[in-house]
Amino acid sequence: MHDIMFAPPFARPAIDAARLDPQDREALIGTLGAESDWLAEIAFTFLLNSHDPHIGERAARRVREVAPNRRANTVIVAIANDPDPADAASRFLDTSDPPVRVGAAAATRMLAQAEPSRSWTGLLNRALTDNDQTVQLAAGADPASIGRESYWSCGECGHENRIDARQCGSCGEEEGFHIIMHRWNSG
């Protein structure tokens, strides 16, 4: 399965980060790394469009602490809340950790769709030519035209797998790519 799903924000809850006290904000940032998919997804949805640089900064610091399968979404929150999202995406695309680059690629694609007037071409091209096939897919590459010289990284554990491997050599997860992303609202 090679899909990014852009889901509409459900029911548009009053997302107003200014009404959260610092402790609650911190709790939500911690929940980005929750073991429960459901809980982590709620925190992600809530924090994605909060337009709060403080949240961006805290999420950026959490990236290394959360499990590999929570890293991409934590990076997306960090980028979406950064005062300069393109600069943040560029920094994350430079890292050697595959799930971090997957998040940066997905965020770049999301931002490019939300703000088509701005030129995202350079950043998108970097993600589309990453050595990791999973990063290319997150950036919107057509699975049919992807180069076979690259590797794929596991969404569960971040392990880099040979391109002909169908299962992750580290955790056994089947090859696949699935990010559920909510639309970014440039606010």
Name the residue type at position 128: L
Is residue 67 within the footprint of Zn ion (CB under 5 A)?
A: no
Q: What angle do CA 84, 46, 20 make, to 5 degrees?
A: 90
Beta-bridge partner residues of 5: 180
Smallest gap, in angstroms, from Cβ of residue 162 to Zn ion?
13
**Closest distance of CB 74 from Zn ion, Å:** 18
> Percentage helix, strand, coil, to 5, in the chain?
50, 10, 40
Among 170, 176, 180, 183, binds Zn ion (CB under 5 A): 170
Q: Does 97 bind Zn ion (CB under 5 A)?
A: no
Binding segment toward Zn ion, per CB under 5 A, in 4-12, 38-46, 69-77, 172-180:
172-180
Comparing CB distances to Zn ion, the nearer of 159 and 182 is 159
- Per residue, the 3-state secondary structure of 117-156, as one string, reads CCCCHHHHHHHHCCCEHHHHHHCCCCHHHCCCCCEEECCC
In angstroms, give the least distance from the CB of 168 to Zn ion. 3
| Binding segment toward Zn ion, per CB under 5 A, in 3-11, 30-38, 132-140, 160-168 | 160-168
156 binds Zn ion (CB under 5 A): yes
Q: In the range 110-139, which residues lie near Zn ion by CB under 5 A?
A: none
Residue 173 found at the interface with Zn ion (CB under 5 A): yes
* Runs of H (alpha helix) within 52-114: 53-62, 68-80, 85-93, 98-114
Burial of residue 114 (number of CB atoms within 10 Å: 0-12, 13-18, 19+): middle
Give the range of 12-20, 94-102, 107-115, 146-154 binding Zn ion by CB under 5 A.
146-154
Please, which residue, 28 or 154, has the CB nearer to Zn ion?
A: 154
Burial class (CB in 10 A: 0-12, 13-18, 19+), 183: middle
Q: Residues interacting with Zn ion, by CB under 5 A?
A: 154, 156-157, 159, 168, 170-171, 173
